[in-house]
Structure 1
Amino acid sequence: MFSYFHSFIKYRRLIWEMALRDLQVRTKGSLLGLLWIALIPLIQTAVYVFIILFIFKSKLPGFDTSIDYIAYVLCGQVAWSFISKTMNDAPMLIRSRMELVKQVIYPVETLPANSIILGAISVIITFVIAIGVGLYAGNISLTIFLMPLPIILLTLFALGSSWLLMIIGVIFKDISEVITLFFGLLVYLSPVLLFEGLVSETLWTLILLNPFSHIIIVFRDVIFGEFHMMSWFVFSIMSVVSSIVGYYLLSRFRLIINEHI
């Protein structure tokens, strides 16, 4: 497994060039270009906040002002947008690069790095805005300097999950559409928008059964200075298990991949 992680260092120039190429392809002919990467999650956040505050007119127990809630949602979007972006891209990582993967020398294990880099661009922009709103609201904690910890865990989780999904995507073409639909619906059963005081105890229990909820909770812990032991435990286990399982399956099915492309 160490050799796989070493590949990201050994082929760092190739990874960077591929990420730049993908970015150019996605923004080619677009009037706003890179701005779309930031605008999409921000527009989604604005719609969510508008629905909660002005359509449902929900009271926000535990929040002094609406600005506090907006900071809460933005911080949830930081982790969620990265997860959904990498998971949505993963099934097509091999199929979209068949001409490269067919070359024996190409390091297949580095394919998720492109999606992770592009996803990080949107996350960084959203994170900066979230911190700005949080500082304005006065609820950012000094524990934010511990942010590298959940970032490392999230990277491991994204990497392992991407390895798994890109193998499945080689065999089942429709898995990409299923993943997109899945995350589009799952956001409403996550703590991106909701919090314990806003929903019933039964619904909050269902939200906690969503494993991705714990990733969001951990990121908010670091930003707002809280600590949920169970979420840290679940997130850590998810990251370690996904990276090990993803590595095992990729190393086991590398030869089989070439038979399906």
Structure 2
Amino acid sequence: MNVAQRVAIVTGGGGGIGSALVARLAREGAWVVVADLDAEAVRAVSETVNADHRGSTVSAGGDVSDTEQIQQLIDLAESAFGPVDFYFANAGIGGALGLDVSEQDWDRSIDVNLRAHIRAARLLVPRWLERGEGYFVSTASAAGLLTQIGSATYAVTKHAAVAFAEWLSVTYGDRGVRVSCLCPMGVNTRMLTAGEDSGDALGRAATRAVTSAGDVLEPAEVADAVLAAIEDERFLILPHEDVLEMYRHKGSDYDRWVRGMRRYQSSLLAQA
């Protein structure tokens, strides 16, 4: 599906992968609503992109896990540009470490990393079914196919995000609703370095588990991979090709994979 002259909403657009997606979409001729909890950040992203592609974006600050605010984004897109063609459920948060995590931490991770996707789909998919087309792009993580050392909340919610995207594609894919699921490994964003800066051995291990497993990509490289996958209408987007081989090893002998992950975690903790 071509993005030119299409209307998109990108959540988590204040930086990282989100802002790179906004820039790439605008360059390809799309109109974009840029959303993020950080209103100042998305305003800056919008202004920067508009300087090169006049009138291609508008920004909105708010909690994109909240149904009312998602509806406001849809309304803004329609008033500024027209009906929404693409929704990039890209906003995400890193998880708290270990098992001793509060109910509030669990709720927040589930809301942002999973329910935000569900709530957006509930609003948009009926419209897309009526029109006969629409595209939902879910940002999950390689942790949603493999796991995340250190953070149960992140690993669990990213697995769930992959599962929801799969279900969405299976259920509505033959009725014009296209779905892609982005599962990157290390990307040069603040989220990647949060564990290293946490002062916690498990946090340092969590970051090093990602950075030592493969290349750390720049957000623009990930955005390029996303646009290429959308053009081909591919479900699984893997900017790190090694993730597929890791996933195959996991599925071929689950017990061996779990034992290997335990050894890997032990070695990382010893270094931390």
Q: TM-score, normalised by structure 2?
A: 0.33
Greater share of strand: 2
Q: TM-score, normalised by structure 1?
A: 0.34
Greater share of helix: 1
Rg comparison, structure with higher value: 1
